Structure 1
């Protein structure tokens, strides 16, 4: 399981072009190889993947909860129904009931790795402009940090780009998957640590001048524990850079379950900026920068349209889906749906870019960024 950001925009769904026929055949073989194991695992249903429903907010303890959203897995289409509750006192949004460890392993499998690795690896590898902007947000407060730990680093793509901004900085990465180790071997990271930050923090105490968490906290079962661990590995005066989806974005209400950053069932906790600022203060940090326009990723309308088309089209073959694999007719119909929807996707993309110019002022920003100093 990896804890990193979701794709900026879902990959296209039409049938593969002739040049991609070899990859399509390889994927078909991989799907067929995984199908027996998935079907055996799902024979007993999905109930064991969920904890008991909790009656209080995991952020503030209030019992004044309301259902914010009911949805399904709109990207992989794995079976299960998911509920997000919102605290009426602090506005924290959280998955309830939450996935168990077994459930997290099941729903993450073949998303960032396995069947999904090549597709998402390509997405993350092309986001250099966003990575550069993240790194530059630190520059006014730390001109030349010696050491930087990127938590939830995936395959280390951010660190590779951030080195252009800070060429003398040693970038380490940490992830639950083997991606951090692979990134070290490829030279993207000086050191790649595999594991969780709270578990590894005692051995890394006081080592880093900067710790970054990009679209990481929302995946965590205990965000406050992660923040406390970050405090531990930072030197006094060190900086913690956080970027997360903004559950108070107007797009979140306008688009409902089709808003991509809900990303169910992976996102377990979504914190309003005010909540995170207060908690950082309680843990011994002072927030020195808050940004809403800069971290906004202009894909909300495009992604929502893509998800709607994907829901209407016949499914791609996947080992967890019931029934027989799709034949030529179903594959052709899927391609036809996306071909017919291409003008809508183009228009949505244009509207996204127009709205991005004022996303911070209008409350449409789908993410926010905080930079906090360890006192």
Structure 2
């Protein structure tokens, strides 16, 4: 069959895709449009396909398989549209994010801005969506946000007039979403570590960003860093019985979290990024009331204790070159157990001897990610949208 031949061709062409296709099971299902993905309770990845695609050219079937793999790489199964209107936009946004990395589809694609301007697709059996020429190498989330803004400008635009997606985006699963993320992220991560160097730069950056998508909320992240605590003040409490004397209150220790937050305030950080950083620091403060906040450009510019709501009176100092190491050294001299560093990554990765989490702005330096992952592991990076 053509689909089996297409699988074999792809496995010969690229060790990266070959690794991802190992263990993928093909299953005919004529209820799907062309092809779709299903995750079974045994952790298998099924590619459901309509038998009619065996009558299509080999380049089309190969491209379709790559298209499905890209859905997995980009974790598009995490996207949950609120309604049919949003689903239509999400479908095109996901396809645009993917097709730009598949030459055969990219060459035959219609840019999203043209689709919105004309209000419909081509008359061919299949329509391939592409990014606007001024927005290449972006994510589905970014294309979705851009399309929503464009539709707001147009007011009464008939979204239903837009063409359908190339494939089904149902992403069926017999497993919880957390398990799917763990299975797919592990497989893509291993393939990328072994064979990622052969990929073109835009795709490498796309996969890197996808692998760093946080699956944890801030409460979980902060709990991870706050677990190591030190004993603070000791006080008596009637709520804790005295082990030696029944009629006496017991002693209880107040535990103080040992968490430092470092903010890069160098000249490369724009106001939008600083606002983004402060918003996230405020979230952290709600879970950990005793933060050591350190501002740094090429040297430490300010040190203070931060608590929830303090952003209103917080002065920002900096604007010079960037060197995170002085702030890290200062934090470690305070005997902290965890350090969270907010930066755009246009700086060398510092040497950290404590548990560390780098929180990068959306306008980050991708080279910083590669270096940080190599030194501290993939769990050391979170990228803000």
Instruction: Indicate the TM-score class for this superposition, using the shorter chain for normalisation.
Output: under 0.3
* Structure (1 or 2) with the larger CA radius of gyration: 2
Query: Structure 1 length as normaliser, TM-score?
Result: 0.27
The answer to which structure, 1 or 2, has the higher relative contact order (CA under 8 A, 6+ apart) is 1
